[in-house]
Structures are given as structure tokens and as C-alpha cells.
Amino acid sequence: MSQLFDTVALIGIGLIGSSISHATRRAGLARRIVGAAKTEATRATALRLGLVDEVFANPADAVKEADLVILCVPVRACGPVAAEISKSLKPGAILTDVGSVKGSVVADVGPHVPAGVHFVPGHPIAGTEHSGPEAGFAELFDGRWCVLTPPPGADNAAVDRLRSYWKGLGSNVEIMAPDHHDMVLAITSHVPHLIAFNIVNTAAHLERVTESEVIKFSAGGFRDFTRIAASDPTMWRDVFLTNRTAMIEMLGRFTEDLLHLQRAMRFGDGETLFRMITEARHIRRGIIEAGQDTAAPDFGRHQGGSAAPATGQKS
Ligand code: NAP
């Protein structure tokens, strides 16, 4: 694919920012990539790995010449960062983000977008439990979905250009309303993460099961929960706070269904249990058939915490 932008600015250079950099370079989508990160350690790593051609402590300095600005920071940092960069954005630039919740980003960033700048929020539905600038890799978005939530009246040319960029990064692209995105992601990602954090803590708090037993016998399903529960606390705190309306609705439904299973167990209702397990199994097959995971016994994930192949559906 050919170059789509002259300068891309990545505000935040963690897992997602660094993966965007690798994939942008792989496809030659930009002449120059600049970045901004909060800590000196991240800025130094980003330069050392060649993720950016130039790096800044102040996001406003990074966006000055950019024709595409991507906010790759935790969801609740998007509003404050938008306020900081607002006056430095170049007229005609596209401003987007990768936040896992869209309603709150639209509400927090929207008021800071100056006239002449095209704001098109986005969310790549791809990730791993690793974070930081060394966690990224070019293949993260390959074959995954990226959801764009352009506001009503958004500039069609800007939306098309951003769509082409995400396709160049390897993604499929879908357009959605922010509220719909947040409801879908609540059940497919946000509630499952909450459940993973909770079940791992429940096991850890059990007085009669020692920590070594939890680790030793973890293969039986628990291990996959621990992988998800290794995810970044700042990112997930922000997701749980900003998507709480949709998540509380989904948690209500989840709790009702869980009680239904518990009741079937209490009354020895094997027929109900068998039916519900069969239905769930069918969904798993559908995900594999849709190319969104692999049927390999370890879900295609390498042992030992290597980030590269762990392209699970996250956030
Ligand atoms: P990450 O690896 O933890 O990186 C976050 C980056 O944001 C770091 O460069 C960090 O700088 C910077 N940052 C943090 N707080 C900041 C603040 N208050 N102001 C300015 N910069 C700040 O996180 P990530 O996984 O890339 O996630 C970034 C975004 O992508 C989040 O909105 C998340 O919801 C979304 N997302 C994540 C995933 C996933 O699976 N991880 C998937 C899709 C979308 P320092 O390193 O200097 O602290």
C-alpha cells in the first residue's frame, strides 16, 4: 500500500501506539512518525526501537505538523490530552483515538476539537495482556476489526482516509454509533475482563487453597482467566468507569443467566445444563470459523508470555 499521510503523531506509545508504528512502517503508510509519552523511559525506548522519528514530552509539540493524530492513551486521559493539543492541531488534520470505550471519548474530546480538524474516533479490537512500547508488533491488527464511530456530519473524505489507513494496518473496518459500540464491547470484552479479574482474586483469597496449588493446577480453565487478568490496571479501571452503564446492564443479564445455571445444578436439571453448554460451544466454533481465533489447543498462544502471537480479542 502507498503512503497515505505525511506525518502521523502517536500520543501515547504503549502496546497500541507501538503496534501502530510497526504496522504503519510495514505498509509505508506515512513518511514520518512522531510521538509523545508521559515518561522519559518510554520516550527513550520509543527512539531506541525506531518507533518514532522524533519524540516529545509535550503532546502539543508532537501534533504541530501532523496530518493524522492518534490518541493512544488510557480512555480517561483522552479528554485532558485533547485539551492540551487543541490549539496546536493543524487545520485539515484528522484526529482519532484507539480507546476501548467510545461514548466517553466522544463526550470528552469532542468539545476540544477546533473547526477545520476532522474528529473520527476509533477502536481497534485487537490487543494482548502486555503493555508498554516494547509490547507492540506489526501483526497485531491483521485480520481483526477496527470500529470507527464518526459523529453525524463527519467529513466523508476524512472517514474514508482513516478507513484506508486501518485497512493498510491490516484491519477490517466497521462503522458504528458510539453507544452501540459500547454495548457490544461491554459483553464481548469488558464484562469478560471484569469476570477474569474477579475469579482470579476469588481463587487467591481462598484460605484453604494455597497459592502454589492455584499455580500448579491452573491448567483447568483458570489459566486462561489469569492471562486476561494480567492486563494493565490503569487501562481497565478507565474502561470499567467510562463504560459502566452498558457494563452494569450486561452484568445484570449475566447474573440472571448464572443463577439459572446454579438453579439447574441445585435441582439436578442435566437437560438445562447440557443445552446451555451446547449453545456456548456453538459460539466458540463460530468465532473460529470467522477467523477471529484459532482452534489450536493453546489458542495459538505461545507459552512463556511472548507477546507476538497472542493476538487475542481484547478491550
Ligand atoms: P499502554 O501500553 O499502557 O500505553 C499507554 C500509553 O499512554 C503510554 O505511552 C503512556 O505513557 C501513555 N499515558 C498514560 N497515561 C497518560 C496520561 N495521563 N497522559 C498522557 N499519556 C499517558 O496502553 P495500551 O494498551 O497501548 O492502551 C492504550 C489505549 O488503547 C487505551 O485507551 C486502551 O483502552 C486502548 N486499547 C487497548 C487494547 C489492549 O488490549 N491493550 C486494545 C485496544 C485498544 P508512559 O509509558 O510514559 O507512562
Q: Calculate the alpha carbon distances from 111 to 28, 101, 195 in Å.
A: 33, 17, 34
Same domain, 75 and 17: yes
Nearest CA to ligand 1 atom 1: 14
- Residue holding cell 487475542? 312
Same domain, 147 and 12: yes
Residues with CB under 6 A from ligand 1: 12-17, 37-39, 42, 72-75, 77, 81, 98-100, 124, 127, 131-132, 232, 235, 239, 314-315
Specify the ligand 1 atom closest to the Cα of 131.
Answer: 2
Residue % of the chain over a pLDDT of 70 = 93
Whether residue 306 lies inside any domain: the answer is: no
Whether residue 232 lies inside any domain: the answer is: yes
Whether residue 301 lies inside any domain: the answer is: no
Residue 58 pLDDT exceeds 60: yes
Same domain, 35 and 126: yes
Same domain, 72 and 89: yes
Structurally, the chain folds into a number of domains equal to 2
Question: pTM of whole model > 0.85?
Answer: yes
Residue 313 pLDDT exceeds 70: no
Same domain, 86 and 158: yes
Q: Calculate the alpha carbon distances from 150 to 106, 160, 220 in Å.
A: 9, 11, 42
Strand 122-125 versus strand 68-71 pairing type: unpaired
The Cα–Cα gap between 282 and 245 comes to: 29
Last residue within a domain, chosen from 155, 177, 199: 177
* DSSP assignments along 115-184, one per residue: TT-EE--EEEE-B-S--STTS--TTTTTT-EEEE-PPTT--HHHHHHHHHHHHHTT-EEEE--HHHHHHH
Residue 280 burial (C-beta neighbours within 10 Å; 0-12, 13-18, 19+):
exposed
Residue 297 pLDDT exceeds 80: no
Last residue within a domain, chosen from 177, 206, 225: 177
Q: How far is the CA of 282 from the centre of ligand 1 (A)?
A: 34
Residue % of the chain over a pLDDT of 90 = 79
Same domain, 198 and 172: no
Residue 306 pLDDT exceeds 50: no
Q: Residue 126: how many CB atoms within 10 A of its CB? A: 26
* Mean pLDDT rounded to a whole number for the chain: 92
Residue 205 pLDDT exceeds 90: no
**Domain containing 45 — which CATH number?**
3.40.50.720
Residue 284 burial (C-beta neighbours within 10 Å; 0-12, 13-18, 19+):
exposed
Same domain, 57 and 116: yes
Q: How confident is the model at residue 257 (pLDDT cuts 50, 70, 90)?
A: very high
Which of 72, 134, 146, 247 to probe ligand 1 with, by most ligand atoms within 8 A of CB? Answer: 72
Write phi, then psi, for 203 (nearest 5 degrees). Answer: -65, -40
Whether residue 199 lies inside any domain: the answer is: yes
Specify the ligand 1 atom closest to the Cα of 239.
Answer: 34
Same domain, 75 and 224: no
Same domain, 166 and 189: no
Same domain, 261 and 155: no
Name, in order, each residue with C-beta under 8 angstroms of 59's C-beta and a sequence gap of 6 or more: 11, 36, 81, 84, 85
**Domain containing 196 — which CATH number?**
1.10.3660.10
269: containing domain: 180-289
The average pLDDT across 71-99 equals: 98
Burial state string for 169-205 with b = 16 or more CB within 10 A and e = fewer than 16: bbbebeebebeebbbbbbbebbbbbbbbbebbeebee
Whether residue 132 lies inside any domain: the answer is: yes
Same domain, 168 and 200: no
Which of 11, 73, 102, 106 to probe ligand 1 with, by most ligand atoms within 8 A of CB? Answer: 73
Whether residue 96 lies inside any domain: the answer is: yes
Q: How far is the CA of 235 from the centre of ligand 1 (A)?
A: 7
Whether residue 63 lies inside any domain: the answer is: yes
Same domain, 159 and 199: no
Whether residue 157 lies inside any domain: the answer is: yes
Query: Comparing 94-98, 146-150, 288-292, which segment has the lowest mean pLDDT?
Result: 288-292
Last residue within a domain, chosen from 177, 193, 221: 177
Query: Comparing 21-35, 135-149, 173-187, 293-307, which segment has the lowest mean pLDDT?
Result: 293-307
